Structure 1
Amino acid sequence: MAEFSAPFDGSPIATQSQWSRMARRWGIDGVHASDPADTALKISGNGSGNVILQPGEAFVNGFYYLNDTTKNIPITANLGTTARVDMVVLRASMSAKTVRAAYKTGGSSAPTLAADENGDYEMPLAQCTVAAGSSVVTAVNVLDRRWFTDRGAVPGLPGARRPSVRGQLLVEGTKLYVGDGAGWQWLTSPGVEEDTYTPQWTVGSTTIQWGASATNLGRFTVRGKRVDLLIHLVPSANPISSTEPIMVSLPPGYPAASHHRSILNWAYTGTNGDGIGSAVIYPTLSTTKIARLRYAMSNSVSSTVPPEVFTMHTTQPWPMRAGDVLTIDGSYWLA
């Protein structure tokens, strides 16, 4: 059959294979649980000849499974001389036309799970270690290996949210939240995953030329109203000599908030000295530039004498030279 589509009148879902193929597109295999701490279909050991399966529901290879009561699953005795690693699985069988919990023996490592979508398909629930010569599994020898499936993100309206479900994603407009069982916690808003730009450096109204082969890179991400910014500069030529403050442009289209100053960090390494300080956005001067690279100094060795704050120029506190490195790193808030 080259092409197939269903369900239509005269073209129904007629086989379990067709159903499985269709249903696998609705959701991924896994245990239905709101949180990994949920005991749905969890396996435990108590030192008897069985492991215990808790009630729960799951999808396996596009088929629904329900266990509505605790169920004992017999352990296969280990007659060998070394410990054996087994698995408890949910097995969807096309030939048996069932999904059932099963105990699957392994060896020095866990057994390989069946993955034939048209035959037997297995999904893990737990890994069990059976000691040599033993037919019991204790609690400490059971490792949870359940896969989980979710309900997908649900849309919502501000002020009319459904009750919070732990692990559930909620979309309100363009904002994403996750439920913690008590409320909805904001995760993210639209932004820029990662982008770059070429920073423009100025002193007064004059553009600073750093040399034809200079490294002058701005890298940024945007998360809601916050911009994370990194500017990395390595001049290949000595800049102009100026006593005007060094200024550098922010990413185009992302001006800083006008109601407060944002402060980033700068670090400088050069042939004439090293230093660190604060890169300050002064909205009264510009919301599209870092207006000042500030640093503190004191002429006194006394801790009671407050330091003075100065502005970095191309000649102060060090004459900037080719090969020096200046990095600005931090965050600022959008308008």
Structure 2
Amino acid sequence: MAEFSAPFDGSPIATQSQWSRQARRWGLDGVHASDPADTALKVTGNGSGNVALAVGEAFVNGFYYKNDATKTIAVTANAGSAARIDMVILRASMSAKSVTAVYKTGGTSAPTLAADEEGIYEIPLAQCTVAAGSSVVTAVNVLDRRWFTDRGAVPGIPGARRPSVKSQLLVEGTRLYVGDGAGWQWMASPGVEEDYYTPQWTAGGANVSWGTAAKNVGRYRVQGKKVDLLIELVPTGNPAATTEPLMVSLPPGFPASPAHRSILNWVYTSENGEGGGIGQAVIYPTSSTTRIARLRYAMSNSLSSTATPNAFSVYTNKPWNIRTGDILAIDGSYWLP
């Protein structure tokens, strides 16, 4: 099998097949449009023996196609006793050396489109249903089946953006935006798609051990300045009672913003007959930006509904004795500096 490369002075693109193979890498087949609401190469029916193809442009098998005036395409009469499902297509033909709009008949299902890159290659524009014994297609019996293709993402400079183009992607540095026709809407910023770490639990200055086989997993995702975090703990041991509230580390390298407190949710379920509880996991930046400083829950010391509630902290043994089989989960998000 011989190697081939082009275009060079001594090795030009000499055949339509070579052109097609090269051009197919530049863009996907489809109608050129910035939005599905665009009428480029849209097919419509009006109850006559024809359908109409709007102006527009497309790529088919690496070849360019343009229709610069509304084109009338004849509907093939249905002589059968059942409704027939047809297609309007763009057909690229290597032997005919052209791309043309064609009405292609089917049967009880739509016709199969050719996909021979060295022969006949077809892409869909519309699906048409023709009633038995009829040769007309009404507006409601035309379904849009266009494939679309457009430019890839374009680079931009903050403060010097081009006018918004609907459905166009814009990259500024490492930020991704999409155009809506009126402005550029932020879509994504760099971050960590998904990762894991082993949370470090402490009480005061001492580490807390939940048992050598404990499930102690932190799962996080970072997008821009926001961190989504889930911590799951299932002890296999019973740590000693502590005189300081429980604290737990945040993902390494992703400290919380010192500008404000961040609040996540926690839920605890005892598998040892002590019930359960829910509350808030609070990051106090004045205490630490690298760990959750308190697991807090609201409670009143009075039976009166008018008594002022207070917030209390969770310890290894208060208000529950957290031990083998119990489940503690923290879930939420916080902001980076």
TM range (shorter): over 0.9
Question: 1:211-232 CA deviation, whole Å, 9 max, x = no partner?
Answer: 1111111111100000011111
Unaligned runs of 5+ in 1: none
1:39-78 correspondence to structure 2 within 5 Å: 39-78=39-78
Indicate whether 1:123 and 2:134 are aligned. no
Question: 1:67-96 CA deviation, whole Å, 9 max, x = no partner?
Answer: 111111111111112221111111110011
Shift of 1:302: 4.6
Which residue in 2 is equivalent to 1:313? 315
Which residue in 2 is equivalent to 1:297? 299
Shift of 1:117: 0.2
1-side partners of 2:131 and 2:260: how far apart?
A: 66
Question: 1:148-187 CA deviation, whole Å, 9 max, x = no partner?
Answer: 1120011111111111100111111111111110111111
**RMSD over aligned Cα atoms:** 1.1
Which residue in 1 is equivalent to 2:220? 220
Which residue in 1 is equivalent to 2:237? 237
Secondary structure at the residue paired with 2:38?
coil
Which residue in 1 is equivalent to 2:256? 256
2-side partners of 1:20 and 1:219: how far apart?
A: 47
Indicate whether 1:114 and 2:114 are aligned. yes
C-alpha distance 3-315 of structure 1, shift in aligned 2 (>3 A): same
Shift of 1:304: 3.3
Secondary structure at the residue paired with 2:329?
strand
1-side partners of 2:95 and 2:177: how far apart?
A: 43
Secondary structure at the residue paired with 1:118?
coil
Residue range with higher mean Cα deviation, 100-109 or 111-120: 100-109
Indicate whether 1:202 and 2:202 are aligned. yes
2-side partners of 1:300 and 1:84: how far apart?
A: 77
Which residue in 1 is equivalent to 2:13? 13
Indicate whether 1:265 and 2:271 are aligned. no
Indicate conservation of the 8 Å contact 2:210/2:323, yes or no: no
Indicate conservation of the 8 Å contact 1:243/1:315, yes or no: no
- Aligned residues with identical type, % of pairs: 76
Shift of 1:243: 3.0
1-side partners of 2:251 and 2:199: how far apart?
A: 7
Residue range with higher mean Cα deviation, 76-85 or 55-64: 76-85
2-side partners of 1:275 and 1:161: how far apart?
A: 51
Unaligned runs of 5+ in 2: none
1-side partners of 2:39 and 2:269: how far apart?
A: 56
Which residue in 2 is equivalent to 1:332? 334
2-side partners of 1:301 and 1:126: how far apart?
A: 71
2-side partners of 1:301 and 1:39: how far apart?
A: 69
2-side partners of 1:302 and 1:38: how far apart?
A: 65
Q: Which amino acid aligns with 1:313?
A: Y
Indicate conservation of the 8 Å contact 1:128/1:137, yes or no: yes
Equivalenced residue count is 335
Shift of 1:16: 0.2
Indicate conservation of the 8 Å contact 2:88/2:128, yes or no: yes
Normalized against structure 1, the TM-score is what?
A: 0.97
Indicate conservation of the 8 Å contact 1:234/1:323, yes or no: yes
Indicate whether 1:98 and 2:98 are aligned. yes
Q: Which amino acid aligns with 1:50?
A: N
Normalized against structure 2, the TM-score is what?
A: 0.97
2:279 equivalent among 268, 277, 280: 277
Which residue in 2 is equivalent to 1:88? 88
Indicate whether 1:31 and 2:31 are aligned. yes
1-side partners of 2:47 and 2:119: how far apart?
A: 34
Question: 1:182-240 CA deviation, whole Å, 9 max, x = no partner?
Answer: 11111111100111111111111111111111111111110000001111111111122
Indicate conservation of the 8 Å contact 2:188/2:223, yes or no: yes
Secondary structure at the residue paired with 2:259?
coil
Q: Which amino acid aligns with 1:274?
A: G
Shift of 1:13: 0.5
Q: Which amino acid aligns with 1:227?
A: V
Question: 1:29-86 CA deviation, whole Å, 9 max, x = no partner?
Answer: 1111011111111111111111111111000100000011111111111111222111
2-side partners of 1:117 and 1:266: how far apart?
A: 58
Shift of 1:306: 3.0
Indicate conservation of the 8 Å contact 1:243/1:316, yes or no: no
Indicate conservation of the 8 Å contact 2:86/2:105, yes or no: yes
1-side partners of 2:99 and 2:206: how far apart?
A: 74
1-side partners of 2:142 and 2:299: how far apart?
A: 62
